[in-house]
Amino acid sequence: MTLLAHYVLFVSLYIMIVSIINHRRNRFWFLHFVMLPYILFVLTITIIPLPNIFQPKNEQFWQSVNWLPFRDIIHGYAYAKREALLNVLMMVPFGFFLPFMTKKNVWKTVIITFCFSLSIETIQLLTVLFNRIDARTFDVTDLITNTLGGLCGYIIHRFVHKKCLSGNT
Instruction: Report pTM.
Output: 0.77
C-alpha distances in angstroms, 77 versus 80, 87, 125? 6, 16, 21
Residue type, 50: L
Q: What does DSSP assign to residue 50?
A: P
> 58 is in which domain, residue-wise?
2-165
Whether omega before 37 lies within 30 degrees of 0, making that bond cis, reads no
Using an 8 Å Cβ cutoff, are 150 and 121 in contact?
no
Q: Which residues pair with 139 in a beta bridge?
A: 66
Per-residue pLDDT of the chain (169 residues; tens, 9 = 90+): 466 776 777 777 776 666 655 655 555 666 777 787 888 888 888 877 665 554 555 556 666 778 889 998 888 888 999 999 999 999 999 999 899 888 889 999 999 999 999 999 988 887 777 665 566 788 999 999 999 999 999 999 999 988 886 665 5
Q: How many domains does the chain have?
A: 1
